[in-house]
Every structure is written in C-alpha cells, then in structure tokens.
Amino acid sequence: MTTQDRQSPREAIPGNVVARFFRLIRFSHTIFALPFALAALVVAANGKPSPRLLGLVFLCMLFARTAAMLFNRLIDWQIDQRNPRTASRHLLVSRSFAIAALLVSCAGFIVSAANINRLTFALSPLALAIVFFYSVTKRFTAATHFFLGLALAIAPIGAWIAQTGHVDLAPIILAFGVVCWVAGFDLIYATQDYEFDQRAGLHSLVVSLGIPRALRLAKVLHLITFVALIVFGTTARLGAPYFVSMLVIGGALIYEHRTADDVDLARINRAFFHSNAFVSAVFLAAVVIDRLTSS
C-alpha cells in the first residue's frame, strides 16, 4: 500500500489547511460586500475616515462574513454532500475545525464592533443573527435570495453607524440597492442548482419560477439596483466621477445578463464572479475618487 493509498480523503485534497479554509468560505467573494461597506464609510466621513476606524470596519466585515460562511457550511454539511457541485466541500476542513473557527469569528466580530462605539456593539448580535438567518431560509421560503441580499446590505449601514453613530437615509438607499443587486446575481447563480434543489425539496425562486422567468426577474432587480445607486449618489451629494461610473456599472450588469442568458454553467460562474467583483470595485473607486476630488 502506498502513502497515497493510506491518505484520508481530506489529506488527498491539495493545499494546506489555510488554503483549504479559504476555499471553504469562498474568501475571494469577500470583494462583493466589502467595497460597499468601505464606500459608505468614506461618504459618511466625507472622504477622511481615520485609519483606526477603517481597520476596525475591515475587521468587522472580515469576521462577520467568515462567521456567516462557516455557519452556512455547518448547517448545510449534509446537504452539500448530496449536491454534485458541493460534494467535496466537507472534505476541506473537519467539522470540529469549522465550529471552532465559527466561534472565533463571532468573538472577533463582537470585540471589533465593541471597539467602534456603543451602538455598533449593541447591534453586533443582531447583525450576526441576520447573516446567520439566511442559511436556514432555503428550507421554508423561495425568497431566500432576498435574505442573502439583506445579509450583505447591513454592511454599508453598519459602516455608516461606525462613523456617525446613527443611521441616515443615504445608507438605507444604498442597502436597498445592495439587496436587489445580491438577490439578482444570486438568482443567476442558483440556476446551477435548479435540478438538485428540486430533488432535495429546497426553496428558491429559480425552482418556483423556472430558469427563464427567474433570469427575467434578476434583470428587473438589477435595473432597480441601478436606479438605487443613482438615488444614493444624489442623496449623498456625490459628484460627476460617481455618476460617470454608473455608465460603467450599467454596462457590467448588462454583460452579466447577456452571459447568463446562455445558461452555460462555466459562463455563469465567470459572469457571477467577474461582473459582480467589477461592479463593487468600480463603485468603491468612484466614491473614493469623488470624495477626494471634492474635499
């Protein structure tokens, strides 16, 4: 028997434990929500957030997203093993390791929030409850995509509270846009699991509506997103650099939907990651450039 034959299935997966952990939580997808939180912080601080606060908001985002992803993986541990797309996910790290990492992430988020201000500390358990709740919604509602949007949408509101200590209209409008944006691209992403979700009795609008109508709904949601981002820019009194970037963001969303219309899984994955990462990065860059040029 060779050494390779004696390896456990987990040991046979390439990469060290850190690399496998990052794969488990899809660390690269942090780029979706983080730019919106940082952009809200930049606007609230009029382009000049303190390095300390910037670091604490970054830590809150990192810990909260990690905790949310680990909770999702743990609660879906058995389901993921039956889905061909995620069948090897449970082999990346042990369940006990995932539980320990979840506890550390929750503690890290609460401690980071406590070091910002009293309101962020008081709201930190509620924030964790919201991001955790998404993971159970597929068991009882087809609106699960909107709960995922809500989980990401609290990020810009939290960042605004971190800077100002209160909530204003602008971050609420931005959060609404994020809900529609995330729900739209999650509908596209969920087309990959259409047949499995049907067999497993899991709820999604893709299952309820069918793929063609779900993709049409995603287009409507992204149109609403585009309008919400324009209204946010107006409410937050952003200038020309921001509104010019809306043309770029609009083009990226159109590209995403043209790609998704092919219903090719490889192309959907590219559209999902590249287009949405591009949208969030352009949004943050536009806000930063606008605030720096106007201050």
pLDDT at 273 over 60: yes
Per-residue model confidence as pLDDT tens digits over 170-227: 999 999 999 999 999 899 888 888 888 788 778 889 989 998 899 999 999 999 999 9
Considering the domain 16-294, what is its CATH architecture? Orthogonal Bundle (1.10)
Q: Give the residue with greater pLDDT, 264 vs 136.
A: 136
Q: What residues have CB less than 8 Å from 113, skipping those under 6 apart?
A: 60, 120, 121, 123, 124, 127
Q: How high is the mean pLDDT of the chain?
A: 87
Q: How confident is the model at residue 67 (pLDDT cuts 50, 70, 90)?
A: very high
Domain ranges of the chain: 16-294
Query: Which contiguous run of DSSP H or E holds residue 74?
Result: helix 51-75
**pLDDT confidence of residue 269:** 64
Q: How confident is the model at residue 14 (pLDDT cuts 50, 70, 90)?
A: low
pLDDT at 263 over 70: no
Judge if pTM exceeds 0.85. Answer: yes
Per-residue model confidence as pLDDT tens digits over 87-132: 777 778 888 999 999 999 999 999 999 999 999 999 999 999 999 9
Q: How far is CA 3 from CA 8, 11, 17, 20, 61, in A?
A: 10, 11, 19, 21, 41
Query: Strand, helix or coil at 189?
Result: helix
Q: How confident is the model at residue 282 (pLDDT cuts 50, 70, 90)?
A: very high
Per-residue model confidence as pLDDT tens digits over 31-41: 778 999 999 99
Q: Give the residue with greater pLDDT, 162 vs 11.
A: 162
Rounded to 10 degrees, what is the CA torsion of 236, 237, 238, 239? 170
pLDDT at 53 over 50: yes
Query: Which contiguous run of DSSP H or E holds residue 19?
Result: helix 17-24
CA-CA distance, 170 to 157, in Å (whole number)? Answer: 9
Give 202-206 contacts, CB < 8 A, sequence gap 24+: 202/79, 202/138, 202/139, 203/137, 203/138, 203/139, 203/140, 203/141, 203/142, 203/144, 204/138, 204/142, 204/144, 204/145, 205/142, 205/143, 205/144, 205/145
**pLDDT confidence of residue 15:** 60
Q: Give the residue with greater pLDDT, 163 vs 259.
A: 163
